[in-house]
């Protein structure tokens, strides 16, 4: 479905890019009024986003804004089901871990977890992530200026995912486009379904070859994964691979971009991290708290419930605002401030409970590698003083559109 439409622009606009610059003052107002509000995030902000309420059985939609409310929903999988994703993302992903409840979720996650072993993580860092990041930096290191989003944080995570799957380099542009079209289903259903089928057909050929001749790539590991005599079916593997493309590439590019934005707009903290890399873990976690790449996910109430004192009727969708919860002043002092010296606490950028992000260790490793490379190779790094109005944007997905820098 190659045409003149830019799926990246369509997806970004549908997630609030250019419409919402800073959602946190509004989140603070909402949180101060009540921990849970009736309405979608788009309705509460008065911006035309995807109509998430249309996916509710009853038409009722609530948004949880406090840390206590969000944690309660995410920790209670019996009352707040993930199955609602089957009516939305399931249409293009297939039956994936995203929409599974227990006990099915535990079995499936245990099989998938075998592909994300520490041994695999070490190999991916050494053989994939570090070389890919290095090649990206090579392209602009002698120039003295660059756009860190366009030239580094946006392209490298997709190359990593493709390398993990053993896909050829020439397929990268096509796969990134298909991945974005896939998660834009609520904007363009036909395009999303077409992208889903194209990915399935492509992966079917690769999976058949890997079942016959396994290698050390992720698809081979998934093909051989076994737990108590059970293995993943072809369709289960296709569903995970469809999910991995947008989840692994989109969120990592955004989270690393947001960390760079935090550091570049706080030069003293950038200098401290450059001098003391033991601060890296705190810097990564603080950026995830301060500007999570994905600010909200959803659950469906399986019975009448009360969330942080607010009644929720059975069948309602509850949007849990990870971004609002991560800025709750009852948990973090001065939560709007980016501060890598802040004492670490459990944040919700990777969700919470049974559905905590399966790829969170990979995302953290990728971010550490890319930040280390930039600090090692780009001396005197700073925002381009001639650049105007560099900022993070979006409501559901957030990232800076560009990060023009100078160095040397």
Residue 27, domain CATH: 1.10.630.10
Q: Quick one: pLDDT at residue 126?
A: 96
For every residue of 329-356, DSSP letters joined together read TTTSSSTTS--TTSPP----TT--GGGS
**370/148 Cα distance (integer angstroms):** 11
Residue the block writes with tokens 């946190």: 24
Q: What is the mean pLDDT of residues 73-85?
A: 96
H/E/C letters for each residue in 56-115?
CCCCCEEEECCHHHHHHHHHCCCCEECHHHHHCCHHHHCCCHHHCCCCHHHHHHHHHHHH
Comparing 31-40, 167-176, 249-258, the range with the smallest average pLDDT is: 167-176
Q: What mean pLDDT value characterizes the chain?
A: 91
Within-domain flag for 120: yes
The helix/strand/coil state of 168 is coil
Q: Which helix (H) or strand (E) holds 406?
A: strand 404-406
Q: Which helix (H) or strand (E) holds 9?
A: helix 7-14
Edge to edge, the sheet with strand 404-406 lists 145-147, 404-406, 382-383
Statement: residue 294 has pLDDT above 50: yes
Contact 59, 65 (CB under 8 A): no
**363/23 Cα distance (integer angstroms):** 24
Contact 92, 185 (CB under 8 A): yes
Q: What is the mean pLDDT of residues 157-161?
A: 91
Q: What is the mean pLDDT of residues 182-191?
A: 75
Q: What is the pLDDT of residues 335-360, one digit of tens each?
A: 999 999 999 899 999 999 999 999 99
Sign of the Cα torsion 311, 317, 322, 323 reads negative
The radius of gyration of the chain's CA atoms, rounded to the nearest angstrom, is 21
Q: What is the pLDDT of residues 165-181, one digit of tens each?
A: 988 888 888 887 887 78
Q: What is the mean pLDDT of residues 131-151?
A: 97
**290/99 Cα distance (integer angstroms):** 27
Q: What is the pLDDT of residues 198-249, one digit of tens each?
A: 999 999 999 999 999 999 899 999 999 988 888 999 999 999 998 887 777 7
Contact 300, 268 (CB under 8 A): no
Q: Which helix (H) or strand (E) holds 181?
A: helix 172-183
Within-domain flag for 51: yes
Within-domain flag for 389: yes
User: Which is more confident, 167 or 312?
Assistant: 312
Within-domain flag for 2: no
Contact 49, 76 (CB under 8 A): no
CA dihedral 394, 14, 45, 298 (to 10 degrees): -90
Token pair for 161: 């995912």
DSSP summary character for residue 46: T
3-state helix, strand, coil split of the chain in percent (to 5) is: 55, 10, 35
Q: List all residues 6 or more positions away from 174 whose beta carbon is below 8 Å from its beta carbon.
A: none
Within-domain flag for 221: yes
For every residue of 265-283, DSSP letters joined together read T-HHHHHHHHH-GGGHHHH
Within-domain flag for 174: yes
| Total number of domains constituting the chain | 1
Q: Quick one: pLDDT at residue 23?
A: 96
**115/232 Cα distance (integer angstroms):** 12
Q: Which helix (H) or strand (E) holds 51?
A: none
**352/288 Cα distance (integer angstroms):** 14
Q: What is the pLDDT of residues 90-138, one digit of tens each?
A: 888 889 999 999 999 999 999 888 888 899 999 999 999 999 999 999 9
Strand positions, DSSP E, 178-251 = 226-227, 230-231
Comparing 218-232, 250-264, 292-306, 374-388, the range with the smallest average pLDDT is: 218-232
Statement: residue 56 has pLDDT above 50: yes
**14/186 Cα distance (integer angstroms):** 9
Within-domain flag for 1: no
**67/225 Cα distance (integer angstroms):** 36
Structural domain boundaries, residue 115: 7-406
Q: Quick one: pLDDT at residue 186?
A: 64
Statement: residue 55 has pLDDT above 70: no
This prediction's pTM: 0.93
Percentage of the chain surpassing pLDDT 70?
A: 94
Q: Quick one: pLDDT at residue 1?
A: 36
Within-domain flag for 223: yes
Statement: residue 331 has pLDDT above 60: yes
Q: Quick one: pLDDT at residue 2?
A: 43
């Amino acid at each position: 479905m190659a045409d003149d439409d830019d799926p990246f622009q369509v997806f970004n606009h549908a997630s609030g890019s250019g419409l919402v610059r800073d959602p946190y003052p509004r989140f603070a107002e909402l949180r101060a009024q009540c921990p849970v509000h009736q309405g979608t995030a788009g309705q509460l902000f008065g911006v035309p986003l995807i109509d998430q309420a249309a996916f509710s059985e009853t038409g009722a939609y609530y948004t949880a804004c406090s840390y206590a409310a969000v944690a309660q929903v995410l920790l209670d999988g019996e009352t707040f089901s993930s199955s609602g994703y089957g009516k939305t993302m399931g249409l293009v992903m297939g039956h994936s871990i995203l929409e599974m409840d227990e006990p099915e979720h535990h079995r499936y996650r245990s099989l998938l977890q075998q592909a994300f072993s520490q041994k695999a993580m070490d190999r991916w860092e050494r053989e994939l992530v570090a070389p890919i990041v290095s090649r990206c930096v090579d392209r602009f290191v002698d120039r003295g200026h660059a756009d860190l989003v366009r030239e580094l944080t946006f392209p490298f995570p997709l190359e990593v995912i493709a390398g993990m799957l053993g896909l050829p380099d020439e397929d990268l542009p096509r796969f990134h486009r298909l991945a974005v079209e896939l998660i834009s289903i609520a904007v363009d259903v036909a395009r999303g379904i077409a992208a889903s089928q194209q990915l399935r057909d492509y992966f079917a050929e690769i999976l058949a070859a890997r079942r016959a001749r396994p290698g050390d790539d992720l698809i081979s590991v998934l093909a051989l994964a076994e737990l108590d005599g059970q293995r993943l079916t072809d369709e289960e593997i296709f569903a995970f691979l469809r999910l991995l493309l947008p989840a692994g590439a989109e969120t990592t590019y955004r989270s690393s971009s947001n960390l760079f934005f935090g550091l570049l707009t706080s030069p003293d903290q950038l200098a401290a991290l450059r001098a003391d890399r033991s601060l890296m873990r705190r810097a990564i976690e603080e950026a995830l708290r301060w500007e999570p790449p994905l600010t909200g996910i959803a659950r469906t109430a399986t019975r009448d419930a009360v969330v942080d004192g607010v009644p929720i009727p059975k069948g309602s969708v509850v949007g849990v605002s990870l971004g609002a919860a991560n800025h709750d002043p009852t948990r973090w002092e001065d939560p709007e401030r980016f501060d890598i010296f802040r004492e670490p606490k459990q944040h919700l950028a990777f969700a919470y409970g049974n559905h905590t992000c399966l790829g969170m260790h990979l995302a953290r490793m990728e971010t550490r590698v890319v930040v280390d490379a930039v600090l090692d190779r780009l001396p005197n790094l700073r925002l381009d003083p001639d650049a105007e109005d560099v900022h993070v944007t979006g409501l559901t997905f957030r990232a800076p559109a560009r990060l023009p820098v100078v160095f040397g």
